Amino acid sequence: MRTCRRALTVLALALPLSALGAAPVVDNNSGSGSSSYPPAGYGTSGAYAGGGVTAPASAQGQLFMQLQQMQDEIARLRGVVEVQQNDIQRMKQEALERYQELDKRIASGASGAAAPATNNSQPAGGAIDAGGTPSAPAAQQAPAAGTEPPDPAKEKLYYEAAFDLIKAKDFDKASQAFTAFLRKYPNSSYAGNAQYWLGEVNLAKGDLQGAGQAFAKVSQQYPKHAKVPDSLYKLADVERRLGHTDKVKGILQQVVAQYPGTSAAQLAQRDLQRL
């Protein structure tokens, strides 16, 4: 019996030693990737271990950065929208001012076209009333090629019809009517006025290029016309709206120097002080 117990004891002591002998030996100097410490995947969850995927903490950081970028982009877009809204509001205000100014000019010129027709493009031409209609006769020029011969009655009706389109605020048709009138009757007593009102109509439409060309032609083609100071002042306003600030000062100075005492000169002097 004692012999059996001794044999069991020896066997029990020998088992752990055999187990240890079977355990693999790790050589830290082998250079193998599998022998690194800590082992691959240590300290990571099963969903991220060994898969090359960013750990949860890094994913949260990326999400935070994306959110920050989105907030920055939203702030930038808000700034763009605010600028556009300000531009729209400014254009609406400018359009309203143009309409209001045009209404005043129409009101002052509504009774204009009843006077006898004269050639206001001539230096000896008569004065122009508030509506831009000549009030004293002058000699007519010979019609140019492609134009109709002078017909004061027809010219008067044509001019009044175009002016009525302005009062009706049908600016597209008014622009077409004045353009056609000037093509048919370039030497008419109403031509200088038609040229000026063509500029006003184009300005009311927002056609700055067309308005500038029309206003410039008043002084170029009808240099003695009473509308020249007003047309030059309006031309300066158009150049300002187009951003041609280098031209504005010269035009305003021309109005003040050449047409003193006119309302256009007073407005030009005021604008020069603001520049």
SS3 of 134-174: ECCCCCCCCCCCCCCCCCHHHHHHHHHHHHHHHHCCCHHHH
- How many CA within 13 A on the CB side of residue 239? 18
Query: Count of residues for the chain?
Result: 275
Tens digit of each residue's pLDDT, the chain (275 residues): 555 556 555 555 554 444 444 445 444 444 444 444 445 544 444 444 444 544 455 888 888 888 888 888 888 888 888 777 776 766 555 655 655 566 556 555 543 443 333 334 333 233 333 344 443 333 344 445 556 677 888 999 999 999 999 989 999 999 999 999 999 999 999 999 999 999 999 999 999 999 999 999 999 999 999 999 999 999 999 999 999 988 999 999 999 999 999 999 999 999 999 88
Q: Would you state the pLDDT for residue 113?
A: 42
Residue 10 Cα distances to 3, 4, 113, 154, 200, angstroms: 11, 10, 137, 140, 121
The two structure tokens encoding residue 63 = 């999400």
Distance between CA 37 and CA 42 in Å, rounded?
Answer: 9
Please report the sign of the dihedral spanned by the C-alpha atoms of residue 255, residue 259, residue 263, residue 269. positive
Distance between CA 233 and CA 248 in Å, rounded?
Answer: 9
Q: Which fold has domain 93-274?
A: 1.25.40
Q: Would you state the pLDDT for residue 94?
A: 60
The two structure tokens encoding residue 253 = 């100075």
Q: Would you state the pLDDT for residue 229?
A: 96
Longest dimension (CA), the chain: 159
Q: Would you state the pLDDT for residue 146?
A: 55
The residues, any chain, with a CB within 8 Å of residue 206's CB and separated by 6 or more, are 95
